[in-house]
Structure 1
Amino acid sequence: MNSYSNSYKEAGVDVTAGYKAVELMKQYVARTMTSGVLSGLGGFGGLFELDMTGISKPVLVSGTDGVGTKLKIAFLMDKHDTVGIDCVAMCVNDIICCGAKPQFFLDYIAVGKNYPEKIAKIVSGVAEGCVQSGAALIGGETAEMPGFYPVDEYDLAGFAVGVVDKDKILKPDTQKAGDVMIAIKSSGVHSNGFSLVRKVFTVNESNLARHYSDLGTTLGNVLLTPTKIYVKAVMKLLDSVKVKSISHITGGGFYENIPRSLPDGLSAKIERKAVQVLPIFDLIAQTGNIPERDMFNTFNMGVGMTVVVDKNDADKAISAINSAGEEAYVLGELVEGDYGVVIC
């Protein structure tokens, strides 16, 4: 490509670095291609043809999110090939909450300086997340913004689109007292609450390299563990039982996210001893002297998603989730009342 500008380069933007980054990332993007993709990288828009087989009333479902201050951990560890998984996960895990199947994804990377190899590593993670969720990476944007971001830092955000048959959209108003709430285990902190995490540990390279026996590895490795992508497990679950509602446990923890999937007049009653809290959350609470109520109102505490089914379908639902490679267990039940979430 005969495109360059020395003047723009002197201002801090190297367009040729952008072209190199695109060439380096093509091998990763190729892994995500599905039959619906009609365009390659480089166009002004990503084209995708929906397969309407078995769908009589298609409804598009969209979601967008970023990685947040978890990126600060990646900067300090100079590890950039997993945060893309987080970016995809935060989007696709939202749209599957209404029963939609992800179709395609786009990313946006804003950098202080374009280092093509680093951009390629970031995109390799995005591609891995797309592969895990069955979504095609059909486009994106890399913006070099000198003077806006430090030269060694970047921001990463994404956008996902899925589709669901209108008649199969989950209906939370079908829930009733006595229905069972099932937990699907998380892989760790996922991509929420990192402003508090960084404050608790006064995060720096030395602290991230510290090995904790309770964690079995370094603090940095645990904190940078990618967010679980639950698409395959949820799709398997939807084919196995009637699912009434799904909640993605993100920022705001139990108290903010679970009520979003509950109708008026119903609350979730959760036994504290039923929650399989991961060691990292115990460490955060102990190190920061954080009240348990705040922990459950900030972090996922080891529960990445919750699912509500009829009590007679609970065992079958757990079996379906486990057979898809995730771990599930009974977390609680729905009860009458407008308390949102009761942990007792």
Structure 2
Amino acid sequence: MTDKHSASFTYRDAGVDIDAGEALVDRIKPFAARTMRAGVMAGIGGFGALFEVPRHLKEPVLVSGTDGVGTKLRLAFDWNRHDTVGIDLVAMSVNDILVQGAEPLFFLDYFACGKLSVDTAASVVQGIAKGCELAGCALIGGETAEMPGMYPDGEYDLAGFAVGAVEKSAIIDGRQIEPGDAILGLASSGAHSNGFSLLRKILRHANARRDQELDGRALEDVVMAPTRIYVKSVLHALGVHGRDIKGLAHITGGGLLDNVPRILQAGHVARLHRDAWTLPPLFQWLQQNGNVADSEMHRVFNCGIGMVVVVPAAQADAVAATLAGQGETVYRLGEIAERDGDDAPQVTIV
């Protein structure tokens, strides 16, 4: 019989493997190294990461954003698809700070699990590093938390934090938007990271198989396509067109109906034309198989539009051409108009 007073426990006995954590750090260092950029003074490995505020800005304003991946992670677990959710994580934050004209400077991640799988975590962080490369920002730190009993085996949670900078005089806040301005839309790469609770419900309702074909691709590839990162193309357009870009809206949770009004002033309505773009096959499939109303589609999903750009009507073609030259698919969605009655800004789809 073992004497309970003579037992000797280790952290590993309690479910935390310090060696695995150190192995993960060694695995991800090369990924992080590929994201380094000017301004990084100290990155992965220290207690805190150091970054120098860009010297070319006369009045730098820091812009920060944080987000997660939501229930898209449920499909990552079920389908063993961990390689792209890191891109989603970066995209959700860097696209958010981009709308105020900010250039993303650095990114930090938080990865929490019950039992650390070095291979799974490394795949996730490799995706995070890829997202940072696409956004031009540095992955300079993060936290891996192994917490036994907090998460089921094989599952984890993610959070991300982005910091960018913009010249104070160049902040985009939508205040210059006026009736007659044109609304451009940049195509999304799919569902991005929003609406997945409804998306998953429809998958279950339709008894969908991950390997069934949708638009010439496996359903799982269409559904798990990573969120498009618009940073480099939009920053290029800002460099070319400057203040002609009056407003930017990242189409995330809340879809077109809730996100576009966030950049409008009282008394304005964003009038979008239904025939200006075609609902991509994924969203057609979701709407048909879930019998989802148009209004619900437009409030839950991005419906094929990941970023909205508001410009003077006279400059719409030029801005669209610049963005297309950077690889974006651009639609002229509609225009800004004055709203009768209630002053609250809104979107109408006609």
Global fold match (TM > 0.5)? yes
Question: Displacement of 1:56 after TM fit?
Answer: 1.2
Question: Displacement of 1:163 after TM fit?
Answer: 0.2
Q: Any residues of structure 2 matched to 1:180-329 within 5 Å, and which?
A: 180-202=182-204, 207-212=209-214, 215-241=215-241, 242-329=244-331
- Residues 105 and 130 of structure 1 are in contact (CA less than 8 Å); yes or no, is this contact kept in structure 2? yes
1:143-178 alpha-carbon deviations (Å, 9 max, x no partner):
011111111001111000000000000141211110
Question: Tell me, what secondary structure is at the counterpart of 1:195?
Answer: helix
1:177-206 alpha-carbon deviations (Å, 9 max, x no partner):
100000000000000000000111118997
Question: Displacement of 1:218 after TM fit?
Answer: 1.6
Question: Tell me, what secondary structure is at the counterpart of 2:253?
Answer: coil
Question: Displacement of 1:139 after TM fit?
Answer: 0.1
Unaligned residue ranges in structure 2 (runs of 5+): 1-7
Question: Displacement of 1:265 after TM fit?
Answer: 1.1
Match of 1:173 among 175, 183, 187: 175
TM-score (norm 2): 0.94
CA RMSD of aligned residues (A): 1.5
1:250-280 alpha-carbon deviations (Å, 9 max, x no partner):
0110111000010111110011111331110
Letter in 1 for 2:115: K
Matched, 1:58 2:60: yes
Match of 1:98 in 2: 100
In 1, the alpha carbon distance for the partners of 2:15 and 2:277 equals 50
Q: 1:280 to 1:204 in 2, by over 3 A?
A: closer
Match of 1:35 in 2: 38
Matched, 1:26 2:26: no
Q: Any residues of structure 2 matched to 1:139-150 within 5 Å, and which?
A: 139-150=141-152
1:274-294 alpha-carbon deviations (Å, 9 max, x no partner):
133111000000001111110
Letter in 1 for 2:347: V
- Residues 84 and 125 of structure 1 are in contact (CA less than 8 Å); yes or no, is this contact kept in structure 2? yes
Question: Displacement of 1:211 after TM fit?
Answer: 2.0
Match of 2:349 in 1: 343
- Residues 206 and 289 of structure 2 are in contact (CA less than 8 Å); yes or no, is this contact kept in structure 1? no
Question: Displacement of 1:209 after TM fit?
Answer: 2.1
1:283-342 alpha-carbon deviations (Å, 9 max, x no partner):
000001111110001000000000000001101110111111111120000000145001
In 1, the alpha carbon distance for the partners of 2:138 and 2:9 equals 35
Letter in 2 for 1:218: A
Q: Relative to structure 2, which stretch is displaced further, 111-120 or 160-169? A: 111-120
Letter in 1 for 2:144: T
In 2, the alpha carbon distance for the partners of 1:317 and 1:37 equals 32
Radius of gyration: which is bigger?
A: 2
Match of 1:331 among 330, 333, 336: 333
In 2, the alpha carbon distance for the partners of 1:276 and 1:168 equals 33
In 1, the alpha carbon distance for the partners of 2:335 and 2:208 equals 43
Match of 2:5 in 1: none
In 2, the alpha carbon distance for the partners of 1:283 and 1:161 equals 37
Letter in 2 for 1:135: C
In 2, the alpha carbon distance for the partners of 1:278 and 1:240 equals 30
Q: Relative to structure 2, which stretch is displaced further, 71-80 or 127-136? A: 71-80
Question: Tell me, what secondary structure is at the counterpart of 1:312?
Answer: helix
In 1, the alpha carbon distance for the partners of 2:203 and 2:134 equals 31
Q: 1:122 to 1:205 in 2, by over 3 A?
A: farther
Question: Displacement of 1:35 after TM fit?
Answer: 2.0
Q: 1:203 to 1:78 in 2, by over 3 A?
A: farther
In 2, the alpha carbon distance for the partners of 1:40 and 1:166 equals 27
Q: Relative to structure 2, which stretch is displaced further, 42-51 or 197-206? A: 197-206
Unaligned residue ranges in structure 1 (runs of 5+): none
In 2, the alpha carbon distance for the partners of 1:51 and 1:171 equals 22
**Identical residues among aligned pairs (%):** 49
In 2, the alpha carbon distance for the partners of 1:243 and 1:219 equals 36
1:71-113 alpha-carbon deviations (Å, 9 max, x no partner):
1111122121110000000000000101010000000000121
In 2, the alpha carbon distance for the partners of 1:227 and 1:30 equals 23
Match of 2:82 in 1: 80
TM-score (norm 1): 0.95
In 2, the alpha carbon distance for the partners of 1:324 and 1:21 equals 35
